[in-house]
A = this chain, B = another copy of it.
């Protein structure tokens, strides 16, 4: 990590949920509306947290080969169904409500530094998504928020979820660069660890509020990355864009 050279970076690959967009606020706000439409009381923040907690375990079952590849929408739907059962409110959310909830992940608010910071990074680099979200999900989300990505890369294209090495290496293959010429930007230690193990350069982007006011997000001091930054604008500063 002492050998990191910003001039070697050609592609900036950005994690989305938590790093580029505020999934918790987005999912909680939409869940609160959908619940209110049905006259159901819901602690929407806790609901979003509980749903997100099922995310990594659900990916792992795919990456370990315990089940065939399925898109993230399918994993989200399965964990939603489980969650509603567990909370004893399954009867209050019909098929249409569940579809709306799954699609909440397609429309999430960007962190404020994302659009201006990515626009600066894009001047000198190819800037892509690299998310476990599906290709359609990412295209919809990026378009709605006006995020200035040059292209969309999803784990779906690799049929392997991060942190599987194949998910990271697919970015380098598709964009015809060496893995070390790709800088993975993420707010999560597991993602940074996966990217580093696959040979990518890494930038940890600290999002202390990602998990809401009462919970602790990953902190720079605990993550072994080539760079640690506080936002996309800061990353653009560091890379001289």
Contacts and interface: CB of A to CB of B under 8 A. Distances in A.
Given A134-B176, A142-B151, 20 more contacts: A122-B143, A126-B139, A126-B140, A126-B143, A128-B139, A135-B151, A135-B174, A135-B175, A136-B175, A138-B151, A139-B150, A139-B151, A139-B175, A142-B150, A150-B152, A151-B151, A151-B152, A152-B152, A156-B174, A157-B157
Interface in A163-214: 174-177
Q: Assembly of this chain: how many copies?
A: 2
Contacts of A135: 151, 174-175
26 contacts: A122-B143, A126-B139, A126-B140, A126-B143, A128-B139, A134-B176, A135-B151, A135-B174, A135-B175, A136-B174, A136-B175, A136-B176, A136-B177, A138-B151, A139-B150, A139-B151, A139-B175, A142-B150, A142-B151, A143-B150, A150-B152, A151-B151, A151-B152, A152-B152, A156-B174, A157-B157
A122 B144 CA distance: 11
